[in-house]
Amino acid sequence: MNSESYRVQAGKKISLADWSTKGHAGLTKEEGQVLLAPLLEELAEWQERLYAENQQALLIVLQARDAGGKDGVVKKVIGAFNPNGVHISNFKVPSEEERAHDFLWRVHAQAPRKGMIGVFNRSHYEDALVTRVYKLIDVVTAEQRLMHIRHFEDMLSSNGTRILKFYLHISQEEQKRRLQARLDEPGKNWKFNPGDLKDREHWDQFTEAYEAALSTTSDDAPWFVIPADQKWFRDLLISKIVLETLKAMNPQYPAITYDLKTIEIK
- State the residues that interact with a second copy by CB under 8 A: 52, 71, 74-75, 78-79, 81-84, 86-88, 90, 119, 121, 176, 179-180, 183, 187, 189-192, 194, 197, 200-201, 253-254, 256, 258, 260, 263, 265-266
CB of 182 to a second copy, least distance (A): 9
Q: Which is nearer to a second copy, 111 or 213 (CB)?
A: 111
Q: Quick one: 78 or 163, whose CB is closer to a second copy? A: 78
Minimum Å distance from CB 218 to a second copy? Answer: 26
Taking the complex as a whole, how short is the minimal distance between the CB of residue 51 and a second copy, in angstroms?
A: 9
Q: Is 226 in contact with 6 (CB distance < 8 Å)?
A: yes
Cβ closest to a second copy, residue 112 vs residue 222 = 112
- In whole angstroms, the minimum distance from the beta carbon of 9 to a second copy comes to 31
- Min. distance of Cβ 216 from a second copy in angstroms? 29
